[in-house]
Structure 1
Amino acid sequence: MTGTSPTSAVSAEYTLTYLLGAPRALVYQAWTDPEHFSHWFGPRVYTTPVSKISMDLRPGGIWRAAVVARDGSEQVLDGVYRELSPPERLVFTTGDPGNTTGDLASVVTIVLNERDGGTEMVFHQAGYNTDQAHADASKAGWLEFFDRLDEHLTGHSPKA
């Protein structure tokens, strides 16, 4: 993964606020512990085996996860941690799996706030070298992931 160049500019960005029915420390752990991460990261039609996840939890450390389709094909997602401030903040880069140039695709910032026994997760993604259609598809994908995250942490079915 390469960083942004001096000429790189945000080309699409959005913020999602999602309420989770679990304590903030547990939500942070779900983002940083492969055992938790494997239960919710990726679309429902894929699995994310613990053996296909690596997390070097330090600024500059690389995270990587392979989501596996029913036919056995894999798609690897990865990036670099920029900031880890448990249990309230996590910042990392994430690449576009279709990108063959190595350019940075986006920076994700997650802020976790305690709310009524649960957690308000504020998720911000600033995209580089992307367009709004790709950002909209990414946004929809993350919302599916967050439903899975809440299910995993609370044992309840998705929100209606």
Structure 2
Amino acid sequence: MSTEQSPTAADQGFSYTLTRTLDAPASRVWAAWTTPDQYARWAYAVPGSVEMDVRPGGTWKATMRTPDGTEFPLTGSYAEVAEPRRLTIGMDVPGRPEPATMSLELTEQGPGTTVITLHQTCDTAEERDGAEQGSGMLLDGLTAFLRDGAAGA
């Protein structure tokens, strides 16, 4: 996994990029990100709380549960949907006029192998560090979900 943690001249923000190679075709990874019941099973969401309208301008919501049991609601929308290659997700942040956006790219590297790249630009180093940690946890959950064969269930 590689991580970029420096601001770029173009966005004047704080960015990170996480890349991981997954043992699954892009269509399976896409389904894990865009199907509510699958997403809930690997992304630390409360079962039954995930709703997704996966289309440009469509909305999503989920209640997430931290390892200590704390629950918090998240909402957002989809800015870009290019199945099964690219997804740009907006996340509503209290007190922020515009949603925070995260993009994910899926690139097949042969039969049954996909490279996933997550990228997000944040306003502060603290926000970036928290978002990067959360994204790393998501990738860990996704990797385990795909490895255990649960995405095909």
Pair 1:124 & 2:127 matched: no
Shift of 1:59: 0.9
Q: 2 CA distance for matches of 1:94 and 1:20? A: 25
Pair 1:112 & 2:106 matched: yes
Q: 1 CA distance for matches of 2:118 and 2:37? A: 21
Pair 1:33 & 2:68 matched: no
Shift of 1:150: 0.8
Paired residue for 2:5? none
Pair 1:66 & 2:63 matched: yes
Q: CA RMSD in A?
A: 2.1
2:138 to 133, 139, 145: 145
**Closer/same/farther in 2, CA of residues 70 and 123 from structure 1, 3 Å limit:** closer
Paired residue for 1:133? 126
The code of the aligned residue for 1:77 comes to: L
**Closer/same/farther in 2, CA of residues 69 and 137 from structure 1, 3 Å limit:** closer
The code of the aligned residue for 2:54 comes to: L
TM-score (norm 2): 0.80
- Kept in 1: contact 2:37–2:48 (CA 8 A): no
- Kept in 2: contact 1:34–1:50 (CA 8 A): no
Gaps of 5+ in 2: 1-10
**Closer/same/farther in 2, CA of residues 49 and 12 from structure 1, 3 Å limit:** same
In the comparison of the two structures, how many residue pairs are matched? 138
Give per-residue Cα distances to partners, 1:24-77, cap 9 Å, x unaligned: 1000111100111011113xxxxx233111111111111111013578652011
TM-score (norm 1): 0.77
The code of the aligned residue for 2:48 comes to: S
Q: 2 CA distance for matches of 1:31 and 1:16? A: 16
**Closer/same/farther in 2, CA of residues 136 and 71 from structure 1, 3 Å limit:** closer
Instruction: Provide the secondary structure at the position in 1 that maps to 2:144.
Output: helix
Q: 2 CA distance for matches of 1:34 and 1:146? A: 17
Gaps of 5+ in 1: 1-8, 43-47
Instruction: Provide the secondary structure at the position in 1 that maps to 2:13.
Output: strand
Pair 1:55 & 2:55 matched: no
- Kept in 1: contact 2:21–2:114 (CA 8 A): yes
